[in-house]
Amino acid sequence: MKITNKYSLPEEIFRAINEEETKRDPNRLSATELCIPTRMLILKRRYDEQLEEDASERLWRLFGKMIHKVLEEYGELTEQKVTREIDGITISGVMDVIRETQVDDYKVTSVWSYLFDPEGKQEWIEQLNIYRWLLQGIFNIKELKIHLILRDWMKSKAETDEEYPKIPFITLDLPIMDNIEEIIKQKVKKYLDNREKGDNDIEMCSDEERWRRPTIYAVMKKGRQRAVKLCNTKEDAEEMLKNDKNYYIEARPGMDIRCERYCIVRDICKQKREVI
């Protein structure tokens, strides 16, 4: 992938971001790759040399690397790599910290990511459970913890909003998935079934994989800025308007957040062009 520097970041920052990536073995998948949509994975690998991303979009990833360097020097960061084969595909994972019966992972993320999934994003849960599966026979892992460093945390909101994190750091205990091996097999099968298909024939991403946010209908009251009620259908919103002319409806269009903002193959993906 070509990394551009449209905003003229300092040379040392650009070099740190623009590290050369090794060519991927088609019969090898990382735990992280298993947790992203199959369509995104295949298209990214297929067009890697043609894809472009600006260095500015990787600044938070660089910040994550900096955090890992600090933890490596002052903590118990191990970044131990483990592999295991299933159905002809080698699965690999690099664990941040392994503590006898516990795996810890550190992520730099937004407050919104936490507030939207306060129990942990499904991709995080699957990733750490894949780590646990990789470590079977080596460690008896009973606990999975993810530590979130919240990059856009605001003290003013923490002081006024009870649901807002009190500090820019959250630790989540993630659930153990007893069926993780079956899930891995399903993901591997999906990858194998689709990797030789043409671009337009690769299985489309699900609403969940696209981070689909549906259209909602806000019932508003004249003279008031915040919605009185948020409704999933226009019919439900219209029920509130029947007896009071001071109300009106404000449609808030849905979006596929990953497709619009975060998918690296969004410019070449047929599905993105069709749904956005």
Q: How far apart are CA 175 and CA 120, in angstroms?
A: 9
Do 93 and 186 belong to one domain? yes
Percent of the chain with pLDDT over 70: 96
CATH number where 38 lies: 3.90.320.10
Tell me, yes or no, whether 265 lies in a domain: no
Do 223 and 182 belong to one domain? no
Do 14 and 105 belong to one domain? yes
Q: How far apart are CA 35 and CA 50, in angstroms?
A: 23
Judged by DSSP in three states, 235 sits in helix
pLDDT digits (tens, 9 = 90+) for 177-236: 999 999 999 999 999 999 999 999 999 999 999 999 889 999 998 888 788 888 988 888
Tell me, yes or no, whether 208 lies in a domain: no
Do 138 and 225 belong to one domain? no
Q: How far apart are CA 117 and CA 206, in angstroms?
A: 18
Determine the structural domain holding residue 240 and report its residue range.
Answer: 215-253
Closest CA to 97 of 35, 150, 139, 34: 139
Tell me, yes or no, whether 115 lies in a domain: yes
Closest CA to 126 of 208, 44, 39, 43: 208
Burial of 51 (0-12, 13-18, 19+ CB in 10 A): middle
Do 100 and 53 belong to one domain? yes
Query: Position 251: which residue type?
Result: A
At 258, list the tokens. Answer: 């990953």
Whether residue 275 has pLDDT greater than 60: no
Do 107 and 237 belong to one domain? no
Do 117 and 145 belong to one domain? yes
Do 21 and 108 belong to one domain? yes
Tell me, yes or no, whether 268 lies in a domain: no
Do 173 and 233 belong to one domain? no
From 203, 234, 261, give the residue that closes a domain: 203
Domain count, the chain: 2
Do 108 and 222 belong to one domain? no
Tell me, yes or no, whether 276 lies in a domain: no
Exposure string over 193-231, b if 16+ CB within 10 A, otherwise e: eeeeeeeeebebbeeebbbbeeebbbbbeeeeeebeeeb
Query: Average of pLDDT values for 244-271?
Result: 88
Do 245 and 160 belong to one domain? no
pLDDT at residue number 272: 62
pLDDT at residue number 103: 95
